[in-house]
Chain A
Amino acid sequence: MTALTLKLKTDLAQRVDCSPLTPDKLTGKDVADIAAMELVSGRLTLPVEELFDISGDDVNDIRFENSSAKLDHIGHAMSQGRITINGDAGAYLGQFMTGGNIEITGNTFIYTGCEMKGGQIKINGNAGDFVGAARSGYKNGMTGGTIIVTGNTGARTGDHMRRGMILIEGNAGEYCGSRMISGTIAVLGDVGKHLGYAMKRGTILLPKMPQHGITANFNDCGSHTLAFLPLMFASFKKLDSKFAKVEGFSRVQRYAGDVGGIGMGEILVKI
């Protein structure tokens, strides 16, 4: 068996909803079935074969070639298997996923890992706004799993996040960790303004003081030696990420906030 490969044929004008193209939903389908499946694109539906050249047959190993930022909902609610994307992906990559792996060579648009519950997404590029966030108007962001971004993320990373891990090798945009309820965000690069805005609980881990400092909504709780940090760094060792090579530390300056609310979130900065 070789990976089921979907090579985008054209430059897309309209967005395409790729949510039916997951290992779960393609189980038991042969290439002819898949070719005839209809995808929503704008106000039309188009058969898969009109958009993609199809080859291979292993639906548990799906590859998008020549992928575009207009392919939305890739990996929607997947529970197992593997999706590899060469190129960019659109909005809601890995939304609601509960297991399996997604890896992409390019950039993603908004809401990567939106409300995901498990599994891993690795982005070898930049991610847009609302990584691991809750949908607009909803209260629960990602509740499990890991998102690794080798580049930068946009605004509102981890908005309403409840559990799980977002690891950013580059920079995070404004309002990183906004309205966070629990979980961990770690950023190797810099972070934008309003870090931890309206954060309730959860942890933001930084190897250096952010360029804009810590806002007045966070109280400086002094320096601490936290025993859980070396354990966490040890758990990074198995990841295919710069985080695997980060030298562990346990001494941090701890800031608690956002005191505009219950103030039980923490920003930990290496000292």
Chain B
Amino acid sequence: MIKEINATTRSNGLPIGGKEGDTTVNAVASWQSGYPMRTTFNRRFPDYDPFLNDSKRILANDESDLLIWVSSFNTAVTPPQSSANTIVLGRSGMQFETEPEVYIPVGVPGIDHEGRTFRSDSVVSVPLRKLRDSGLPSVFEVLSAVEQAL
């Protein structure tokens, strides 16, 4: 409809969506792989399917034996119930109904360490600054350390 109206006058829509870093992950996934989230690398190349690669569906159908849950903004965003072994890189202070196999507390981007995030309209990205010295590692630091150790 916006497209039709613009034939004669000007009209805009502002799509807003995504929180807890969703828009950022979507943008970065798009430039690194060509596809947004819900892309599998099973076949050694990016393969996008928003339904088959829906992680909730995958877990509900027991199609994964390992869940790595990254949630550095919000302690309330905890992993879903599943039979998969679960590793959580979660904001420090996260409480679980079922304890995950591994929980690595991490800091919050923009509070405990620097970072960058896309606004929910995904047009503009903003810098996140370190506001306190909590000693908590960033997700990047944790993953880099794991990669080093491998």
Contacts and interface: CB of A to CB of B under 8 A. Distances in A.
B52 A43 contact: no
Contacts of A261: 4
A43 B42 CA distance: 4
A15 B1 CA distance: 40
A15 B52 contact: yes
Main secondary structure of the interface of A (DSSP, over half): loop
Main secondary structure of the interface of B (DSSP, over half): loop
Contacts of A42: 42, 63
Interface residues of B, number: 12
A13 interface: yes
Interface in B37-87: 42-43, 48-52, 61-63
Interface string A161-180: 00000000000000000000
Interface residues of A, number: 16
Contact of A110 (B42, B48, B51): B51
Interface string A218-261: 00000000000000000000000000000000000000000011
A187 interface: no
Interface in A62-92: 70, 72, 91
16 contacts: A13-B62, A14-B63, A15-B63, A43-B42, A70-B61, A70-B63, A72-B52, A91-B51, A91-B52, A110-B52, A111-B51, A129-B51, A136-B49, A136-B51, A137-B48, A260-B1
Given A70-B63, A136-B49, A137-B48, 4 more contacts: A13-B63, A70-B61, A91-B51, A260-B1
